[in-house]
Amino acid sequence: MKMKKLTSIALAAALAIGTFGTSVPAKAADNSTDYTITIPATLTVAQSGWNATDGITAKVKEGDSFATGKKLTVTAASRNSWALKSGDNSVGYNLATATGTYSSTATPASWEFSAADLNADGGKTNPMGIIVADYSSKPAGTYQDTVTFTAKVEDAVKVETLLTTITATGQTTYSQSEEGVVTVTLNTRFYDNDYGWVWDGTITVEPVEGYTITKCRFIQNAKKPLDDDLAPFSIVMNNGGFECCSVTTSTGQKGGRDMDGVTSIEVYGYKN
């Protein structure tokens, strides 16, 4: 990437965004189809804020067909952590799909193409641009960055699997069969080795970035478990007995009279 500032008028004269090529042919994993991704080699920017390109285009080779049930995703990484640099000076920017306001915490854009997109006549073009921070106070210079794009073929439909099992070990402690998948918020009054988390309190399970939860199964030893398939994935326990406890589900399920605590939680979903 390059950005030149003309000191006489305090405006950007030119900025370019480097990619891995103008037209990149590749072969899809688990798929004999050849596809081509076209990404603009340069992006000229005349101002801070939104600056658009011709977008990213993906299509299959003429006469070929992209497999149904698959999708193509394109992600990007910045060498300078999404900043244009000139010596010790830098200007932040966001890789985006639409106009907006620059944010230093924004998530970089990514793109997804379905089989129908790739098989359409001419493929499909998805928008791409950058949102540049205000650089009016920056000294003149050539600012640059390198952006690398990565394409990946994935299943179009995510398959639900058991992501992790949370096991109660104390009033405010627990173990996990797989770390780094969820966060657990415990607000319970009592814990018992045989009954787990009991009585007044709330347990909430949330996914960390990169994971999607589809269901939480709240369990108390061998008793009939209780499923929650609607976010927020939580259970409320009342001192009147587990019959009074409720979870946030689409059907408003409540625990049975014989279930008065939680010893473990099975978390189902998939990695994004």
**Residue pLDDT, tens place only, 70-86:** 899 988 888 889 998 88
Contacts of 254 (CB under 8 A, 6+ apart): 226, 243, 244, 245, 246, 247
The residue among 146, 147, 178, 194 whose CA lies nearest residue 271 is: 178
Total-model pTM: 0.55
164-186 pLDDT, tens digit each: 999 999 999 999 999 999 999 99
- Sequence spans of domains, the chain: 2-155, 161-271
92-120 pLDDT, tens digit each: 999 999 999 999 999 999 999 999 999 99
First-last CA distance in the chain: 30
C-alpha 181/C-alpha 213 separation (Å) is 9
State the pLDDT at residue 256.
Answer: 58
The residue type found at 7 is T
